[in-house]
Structure 1
Amino acid sequence: MRTVRRLLYRDIVASVFFVALAFLSLFFFIDLVEKLDNVGRAGRTTGVAVLAALLELPSHFYELMPIAVLIGTIYSLARLAQSSEFTILRTGGLGPGRALSLLAVLGVVFAAITFVVGDYVVPAAERQAVAVKTLAAGGLRVGGRTGAWLKEKRMTPQGERNYSINLAGTTRH
């Protein structure tokens, strides 16, 4: 059964990888063309456009992964059925329940990968993309002191009072 599992997993993972790569390439190209419109404005260069488009790939991966898994798996299983390999596996003792359990395990692995990318990689990439865009536009000081002010006016029995609180901190990039 290890050979059957290895055959199915290798073929399905390769197909899913190919479909995901094709979709991501298409989305990268579309994002890059969109970002190239801003080259020359506000300090944007071609390098910044390429980097910004690359930093959007994890979010596209997160959005496209379920579709890529579906299309890749269907493509792989259809190819196995067309070359009669799936029929040979069924004749050799691979029951429908076992085939379904093999696919379910692979589905859980793809779901875990999608979860990790969506919850950890995408937010970090989006923060980096915002930092790259603001650095290119000159709107972010690196290594300086930053902070926020909270200002509020309140009426008291003695009259109007102003409160100002400085929440300064040092950021390092």
Structure 2
Amino acid sequence: MKTIRRLIYGEVLAAIALVALGFLALFFFFDLVDELQYLGKSNGINAGDIYQIRHALLYVGLLIPNHLYELLPISVLIGTIFVMARLAQSSEYTILRTSGLGPWRALKLLLALGALFVVFSFVVGDYVAPASERAAQLLKARYQSKITIGQTGAWLKEKQAYNTYVVNVKALTPDNEMQG
């Protein structure tokens, strides 16, 4: 059973890593192309702070954990289906079945691997991604004099005893003024 576990886990981990790497490379490219419009511009406060390609690469690199958190579930699904289909196509799964690997045991193996990815996704989503997103926004604020929150901004909602207030903030300036 240890050999079968090692075979399946090795194949599935390699396929998941390949799919996730492909998606991350695609998102990295899209984000970098989006950042090219800001190259060479100064923030207006300090003339020495010019947004350069290294800043854009660092900013896009800091966005990777957030993209990983978003793409990990689909990468796990695609990678696992790919491996299981490949094992079935080459009759390896049939050989594993005749050697004692039942469907329920195979499902338990994949569920244990899935639990590992749930924990990994939790760590990335709750600890790594927010810290890197904050660092990316601070880097952008330093060179562009504003902090933006996505395309539509940040939506804030506050309920009080008799009123409800909803605010959309597109960007924050360095002196904490809301814009948009």
* TM-score, normalised relative to structure 2: 0.75
- Cα RMSD of the aligned pairs, angstroms, is 1.4
1:75 pairs with 64, 79, 82, which one? 82
Task: Choose 1 or 2 for highest CA Rg.
Answer: 1
Aligned residues: 140
Which deviations, in whole Å up to 9, do the C-alpha atoms of 1:96-117 show, x marking residues without a partner? Answer: 1111100000000011101100
CA distance in 1, matches of 2:64, 2:123: 15
Query: Aligned partner of 2:25: which letter?
Result: S
Deviation of the 1:138 alpha carbon = 6.2
CA distance in 2, matches of 1:135, 1:24: 25
CA distance in 2, matches of 1:18, 1:127: 27
User: In structure 2, what is the equivalent of residue 133 of structure 1?
Assistant: 140
Which structure 2 residue ranges, 5 or more long, are not aligned? 43-49, 147-180
Matched, 1:119 2:113: no
CA distance in 1, matches of 2:9, 2:114: 10
Matched, 1:28 2:35: no
CA distance in 2, matches of 1:137, 1:35: 11
SS at 1:44 equivalent? coil
User: In structure 2, what is the equivalent of residue 151 of structure 1?
Assistant: none
- Structure 1's consecutive aligned runs of 4 or more residues displaced over 6 angstroms after TM superposition are none
1:52 pairs with 46, 49, 59, which one? 59
Deviation of the 1:131 alpha carbon = 1.8
Deviation of the 1:134 alpha carbon = 2.0
Matched-pair identity in %:
54
Query: Aligned partner of 2:124: which letter?
Result: V
Matched, 1:87 2:94: yes
Which structure 1 residue ranges, 5 or more long, are not aligned? 140-173
1:99 pairs with 95, 102, 106, which one? 106
CA distance in 1, matches of 2:71, 2:116: 16
* TM-score, normalised relative to structure 1: 0.78
